Amino acid sequence: MTTSVQTQPAMGELLDLTGRVALVTGAGQGVGAAAAKLLAGQGAAVAVNDYFEQRAATVAAEITASGGRAYAVTADVTDPARVAAMIADVARDLGPVDILVNNAGNAGATTAPDLRPKPFWESDPAEWAPWIAVNYTGVMLATHAVLGGMVERGRGRIITVISDAARVGEPDLVVYSGAKAGAAGFMRAVAKAAGPHGVTANCVALGGIRTPAIEPLLQDAAFVKRLLRAYPIGRLGEPSDAAAMIAFLASEAASWITGQTYPINGGYSVAQ
């Protein structure tokens, strides 16, 4: 009597994204750029979104020069009409979106984040809007724009980049913490609603990542020394650290993972 053994696909095959179309928001620099490049390296055709046309074009050109397929698309993720137009543009030039990475964040492209913020109780409600618009509403708009097509085709991956501020709370980033936590709750609900249709939805929660947004703070050696005390691994994260988890969640290797939040944080906080 012989017993058949089911052969499992090799890890390289599970991570292969050939034939898939990915849209990465806020991909003109930092984590978004690293994610776009890695997804392209795994075979996906990548729509590189940014508020600034030149940023998106530069990253797309780098992907193309490396042998990948990319398309630069400019849009403000907080503008429903522009988001809808972006999805239509991507479908026309690359195909329908199979993988959405909601990466655009901070206070938006036109509002520089206050690196030394005042206490929440001293803030003006008018100051909250940019944080909520990009980190929560923008996630909803982009997800809404692609989800119907994913459900119809019976497959899709949605990965939203949040922050450890959403998981543990940061006293200097109260509104940001709340907006990112809202995006995480939204992803959990989308996971349950769309899971029966072959769509997964997960979050990547980042600790301190070396990106242009925090580069000014990193010029202060004393500040960096204090900051790193909270990180057992002893260094800040790099965009590539986040991109690796994003690419994994976009792949078939993560086909039975949904509704989860994965901290990528050098041990800053611990998931239970």
Active site residues: 176
Paired tokens of 244:
């690796």
The Cα–Cα gap between 161 and 154 comes to 23
Select from 94, 95, 75 the least CA-distant residue to 85: 75
Residue holding tokens 């909601």?
A: 102
The closest of 190, 14, 160 to 100, measured between CA atoms, is 160
List all residues 6 or more positions away from 78 whose beta carbon is below 8 Å from its beta carbon. 108, 133, 134, 137, 138, 141
Q: Are 101 and 159 in contact (CB under 8 A)?
A: yes
From CA 81, how far away is CA 83, in angstroms rounded?
5
Picking from 37, 86, 72, the residue whose alpha carbon sits closest to that of residue 246 is: 37
Angle between helices 174-194 and 138-153 (to 10 degrees): 10
How far apart are the C-alpha atoms of 192 and 43, rounded to whole Å? 28
Nearest to 132 by CA among 166, 97, 96, 171: 166
Q: How far is CA 171 from CA 52, 119, 152, 176, 261, in A?
A: 31, 8, 42, 10, 21
